[in-house]
Amino acid sequence: MPEVIFPGAAGRVEGRYSEPPREGAPIALILHGHPKAGGSMQDRITVQLYKLFVDFGFGVLRFNFRGIGRSQGIFDNGMGELSDAASALDYLQSMNPNAEQCWVGGYSFGAWIGLQLLMRRPEIDGFIAVSPPANHYDLSFLAPCPASGVIIYGTRDSVTTAADMERVIGRIRTQKNIKVDGQPVAGADHFYRGRDPGEDYLADVEKHARSYLERRMAAPPRPPTPAKR
C-alpha cells in the first residue's frame, strides 16, 4: 500500500493507495472518522474497509482529511472535508479511468461525508456506511438515495442510535431500483466495543460488509454513469 500525495483544496493530501490487479477493475474510496475525535486513515475500521475492498480486487484509496497526518489545512466542519473527498475521488479516477465500478466506504464522520459525496457524484455505484452519525448530522438529504448500499451500525451506539438508523434506512430503502440494507451489530457501541473489557465486534463489521460486497459483485452492474469532470 504505497503512500501517495495528491493536491486538494487546502493543499497536499496524504493517502495510501492499493493498485488494482487488472485494467478496468472497480475502485473504492475510504473515508475515516472524525478528525477531532482521533480519526485518521489509520483507524481500525477505516483500515478494515480498505483491506476488504483490496481483497475484492478493487483499486483502493484511503487518505487523511485536512489537518490530519501530513495532509495540509485545518478542520472545516465538513465542508472542506467534502472537498477533500471530491479531490481524492478525482485522483483515484485519474489513476483508473476505465474502472467498471466506483464505490465509497466510510466510518462515522467519514460515512457522513461519503454519503454526501454519493449525492454529488452520479458515477458512484455503491456504498458501505459504518455508523454514520445520525444524532449529530442531518441525513435527510439521502431521500432520494441515488445508489444502493449498506449501513452497518451498533445497537448500543449512543452517537448513531439504532432507532435513528432504522428510521433513516426505512425512509430510503423503498425507492424504485434502489435498495439500502441495514445491518445491526448486536451489543456494539460506536467504536464496535462491548460492555465488557476486551469485547470486540470488529469481525462483525467485516462479516456484514463482506457479505454485502459478495452479493453486489455477483449481480450484473448497473449501466455506467459518466464520471464528473
Q: How far is CA 156 from the centre of its chain?
A: 21
Confirm if 104 and 28 have CB atoms less than 8 A apart. yes
Q: Measured between alpha carbons, how far is 121 from 144 in angstroms, rounded to an integer?
A: 14
- Span 72-112, pLDDT tens digits: 999 999 999 999 999 999 999 999 999 999 999 999 999 99
- Span 126-172, pLDDT tens digits: 999 999 998 788 888 888 899 999 999 999 999 889 999 998 888 88
- Span 19-47, pLDDT tens digits: 999 999 999 999 999 999 999 999 999 99
Global pTM value: 0.94
Q: Which of 33, 32, 23, 25 is closest to 53 using CA atoms? A: 25
Amino acid 141: pLDDT = 87
Residue carrying the nine cell digits 493543499: 11
In the chain, what are the helix, strand and coil shares in percent, each to the nearest 5?
35, 20, 45
Q: What is the mean pLDDT of residues 55-67?
A: 98
Amino acid 136: pLDDT = 80
> In sequence order, what are the residues at sequence separation of 6 or more whose Cβ sits closer than 8 angstroms to the Cβ of residue 127?
103, 104, 105, 106, 114, 115, 118, 147, 149, 150
Amino acid 224: pLDDT = 56
Query: Domain extents for the chain?
Result: 3-218
At the fourth CATH level, which superfamily is domain 3-218? Alpha/Beta hydrolase fold, catalytic domain (3.40.50.1820)
